Structure 1
Amino acid sequence: MRHEPLDSIPATAAPTTEDMLRVWGADHCVQDSSAGVYLQWIRRFRAYCTQRNLDERAELTLAGAHRFIAWYARHRDLKPQRLGGARTALYALSRVYRVMGLSLPAWQDPRRARPPATALLRAYADHLARRRGNPEVTVRGKLRHIGKLSEHLARRGKTWRTMTLTDIDEFLIVCAHRYARSTVADMAGSIRSFARFLLATGRISIDLADSVIAPVQPRHARPRRALPWEDVQRLLRAVDISTARGLRDYALLLMMSTYGFGAGEVIRLRLQDIDWSAGTLKVMRPKTGVAFTLPLLPAVAKVLARYLRKGRPPNTPTRHVFVRMMMPFGPLSASSAVRHILTKHAKAAGLDAPYLGSHVLRHSNAARQLDLGTRPRVLSDLLGHRDPESISAYVRIAIQSLRHVSLPVPT
């Protein structure tokens, strides 16, 4: 199916079939078979609007789609849960409206984060944000940990005022049987923070914080996971770049393996961070907030340009480089999306690795750099570590280069 350029679309009152096919074709992600299904649902939706004297634009919201699905299910004696394709089709129609510059109501009202359940927790959240400067994600994590402790106390008929150190120890022991050591250590840290807040605000009279014992976290107790460089190359070769999704995945994985990026760096990368004329790439380290500039290597530039021209959907609602390849084409929002991409192509490559987390290519790059003779101090700077000693974990991966890396000997 051939598609005309988007600038040839007339701004009519409602998109025609030809308008829809042009927009969806330019998105690179809607197959002809899917477009046919979308058109069927849109015809049914328009008949529904005409029959009930409804305004099509006003009904192109998530709530409107649910009303249509419920109506159609009743008339066809179907289960609404099985008609998810109708919702996707109507969202696809709303996208056509927006690409054509025709106004629509918001598809879905923005979700508001739920405030903490009690006045005490709201005061603690405010303390963390305003007085301690904790970001929202940290505040949510600490509140989640305190919520688990609160449930534990409630089951034993205890409150914050009657809580003892024995109650806290018992809670952490229970958690130690359910969660990883690092998670339990984080929980203990949250409890210390909360205990200090309770003491400072007069809600308890005993200082419990300093007595909360967390699991010991040995530094670098096990080497970081990495793939042999031959396996990294196999992984890249396994990506099918004949599809828009494959072009995105190949560009993402190539950048991670070439520069040692973690998931945070690639999902935060924006179009304005690429300076094509200067041949540079601006990157920010998520943990440190430090921005730095790297050379845009020719091989990476070629792959990126191909993805942006032929893979990334146009008219996306975000400036992020790497986006989801299904409507609404938003940015990849979490490291889990990167991990899914990695494991999918590792399986296609036949890799039998014990660990395939989102940072495995970062670790693989570090081990590769050491094997090629990069000095640990330089590599530490490239990877953005606050602590130069962090590089010792990568050295443990690079078995081939251990003899050539000089490390201080403790006396």
Structure 2
Amino acid sequence: MTDREILGPWLRRFFVEYIVTERNLAQNTRSSYRDTFSLFLPYVSQNLHKPVERLAVTDLTSSLVLKFLGYLETDRHCSVRTRNQRLAAIRAFARYVGSRDPVLVEWCGHIRAIASKKAMPPAIGWLSRTEMDAMLAVPDRRTSQGRREYALLLFLYNTGARVSEAVQLRVRDLNLARARGGHDLATLLGKGGKVRQCPLWPETEQILTAEIHGRAADAAVFVSRLGEQFTRFGVYRLIERCALQVPQLAKRAITPHVIRHTTACHLVQAGVDINTIRAWLGHVSISTTNIYAEIDMTMKANAIALCEVGTPMGRRSWKGDKDLMAFLKSL
């Protein structure tokens, strides 16, 4: 078996040269691709009774890929969206190989012909203003830990930031210039390296000013009780713990993304332009933002009230309009 047939060198070039140097894909995308092949290769090795380092590119047959996708759903209990995400990584690798080696174009075609499974979009969960206020009231602001937790919750609600954007926030990313006649802004690094700025409420500015006092410019804004940068898992745990202490939320799955949805829905209710909300949340397409305009029942009720059909007026024969007949005869 030649080097052109062995899977290992192809995978190394795919990860090191293609997705990093040529495509410059986001770190989360790279991690997703890595996790896909970390699951896929041992599965192939076990099914073919062949060591991973001896696998050939053509060992990754379309039938074996389909079996792997079924294994993800049945044995690992992954969702359809996760299944499609894993398939996207495998298809990207096949496209890369097929574009570099004409001999493997046919193999590439078989892999890329595997269709994604239709998945129903998940329901959008969000909190009412009363529920969000109850969440914000949970941290004990008399303690330093409670103030840190409150600052993080308030920031997520204010900006609608993704959890990765919040934990990566640095002191230098905050522009707290209201006292100098400017605007309080947070600079967020979003998906694909896109940068956006979000305005901060006066209360958020006051809380963050006290929180970052005396810290270096490159220090993390949100830190745990140990003084270390908050992790994604830590933020999830914090929100989960706060939600459990709110009776009306105890049986609901509340995540950082639910707070992001909450921010968007409250902006829609406040009458903010949908394109402004798109820029606020860092969406590439406005069609992604439009879902928030569709799920607000208050706006739907108002729209129905405007279109409500009233009692129909009695119809009158045109012949009964003497003035109209006189007008027509005078022409």
Query: TM-score over 0.5 for the alignment?
Result: yes
Q: Which residue of 2 aligns with 1:104?
A: none
2:265, 2:272 → 1: CA distance? 10
1:307 corresponds, among 187, 211, 225, to: 211
1:391, 1:299 → 2: CA distance? 26
State the Cα distance separating 1:397 from its structure 2 match.
Answer: 3.1
2:56 equivalent to 1:181: no
Q: Which moved more, 1:265-274 or 1:203-212?
A: 203-212
Q: Which residue of 2 aligns with 1:13?
A: none
State the Cα distance separating 1:288 from its structure 2 match.
Answer: 4.8
1:120, 1:192 → 2: CA distance? 14
1:276, 1:162 → 2: CA distance? 57
2:299 equivalent to 1:401: yes
Structure with larger Rg: 2
1:201-226 deviation digits (Å, cap 9, x = unpaired): 447452323212222244xx243111
Q: Which moved more, 1:266-275 or 1:238-247?
A: 266-275
Q: Which residue of 2 aligns with 1:212?
A: 114
2:11 equivalent to 1:121: yes
Residues 365, 135 of structure 1: CA spacing in aligned structure 2 closer, same or farther, 3 A cutoff?
closer
2:22 equivalent to 1:131: yes
1:163-182 deviation digits (Å, cap 9, x = unpaired): 32212112112222221111
1:283 corresponds, among 172, 183, 187, to: 187
User: CA contact under 8 A between 1:323 and 1:330: conserved in structure 2?
Assistant: yes
1:144, 1:241 → 2: CA distance? 40
Q: Which residue of 1 aligns with 2:90?
A: 191
Q: Which residue of 2 aligns with 1:247?
A: 147
State the Cα distance separating 1:285 from its structure 2 match.
Answer: 4.4
1:162, 1:298 → 2: CA distance? 60
1:152-209 deviation digits (Å, cap 9, x = unpaired): 2222227432332212112112222221111111110111112223334447452323
1:237-276 deviation digits (Å, cap 9, x = unpaired): 1210111111111011112112322213322222122223
Residues 400, 124 of structure 1: CA spacing in aligned structure 2 closer, same or farther, 3 A cutoff?
same
1:50-80 deviation digits (Å, cap 9, x = unpaired): xxxxxxxxxxxxxxxxxxxxxxxxxxxxxxx
Residues 317, 380 of structure 1: CA spacing in aligned structure 2 closer, same or farther, 3 A cutoff?
closer
Q: Which residue of 1 aligns with 2:290?
A: 392
Q: Which residue of 1 aligns with 2:326?
A: none
1:296, 1:371 → 2: CA distance? 19
1:377, 1:134 → 2: CA distance? 26
Q: Which residue of 1 aligns with 2:308?
A: none
Q: Secondary structure at the match of 2:283?
A: coil
State the Cα distance separating 1:236 from its structure 2 match.
Answer: 0.9
Residues 137, 392 of structure 1: CA spacing in aligned structure 2 closer, same or farther, 3 A cutoff?
closer
Q: Which residue of 2 aligns with 1:114?
A: none
State the Cα distance separating 1:138 from its structure 2 match.
Answer: 2.6
2:56 equivalent to 1:166: no
2:33 corresponds, among 138, 142, 145, to: 142
User: CA contact under 8 A between 1:223 and 1:396: conserved in structure 2?
Assistant: no
Q: Which residue of 2 aligns with 1:88?
A: none
Q: Secondary structure at the match of 1:284?
A: strand
User: CA contact under 8 A between 2:222 and 2:229: conserved in structure 1?
Assistant: yes
2:44 equivalent to 1:153: yes
User: CA contact under 8 A between 2:174 and 2:187: conserved in structure 1?
Assistant: no
Q: Secondary structure at the match of 1:272?
A: helix
Q: Secondary structure at the match of 2:118?
A: coil
User: CA contact under 8 A between 1:367 and 1:394: conserved in structure 2?
Assistant: yes
2:269 equivalent to 1:368: no
1:76-120 deviation digits (Å, cap 9, x = unpaired): xxxxxxxxxxxxxxxxxxxxxxxxxxxxxxxxxxxxxxxxx9444
User: CA contact under 8 A between 2:162 and 2:257: conserved in structure 1?
Assistant: yes
**One-letter code of the match for 1:297?**
W
Q: TM-score, normalised by structure 1?
A: 0.62
1:133, 1:289 → 2: CA distance? 10
2:192, 2:46 → 1: CA distance? 40
2:163, 2:21 → 1: CA distance? 29
User: CA contact under 8 A between 1:270 and 1:319: conserved in structure 2?
Assistant: yes
Q: Secondary structure at the match of 1:121?
A: helix
2:147, 2:301 → 1: CA distance? 39
User: CA contact under 8 A between 1:153 and 1:163: conserved in structure 2?
Assistant: yes
1:256 corresponds, among 143, 156, 167, to: 156
State the Cα distance separating 1:322 from its structure 2 match.
Answer: 0.7
User: CA contact under 8 A between 2:277 and 2:289: conserved in structure 1?
Assistant: yes
User: CA contact under 8 A between 1:244 and 1:307: conserved in structure 2?
Assistant: no
Q: TM-score, normalised by structure 2?
A: 0.75
User: CA contact under 8 A between 2:167 and 2:231: conserved in structure 1?
Assistant: yes
Residues 297, 255 of structure 1: CA spacing in aligned structure 2 closer, same or farther, 3 A cutoff?
same
1:134, 1:366 → 2: CA distance? 27
Matched residue count: 281
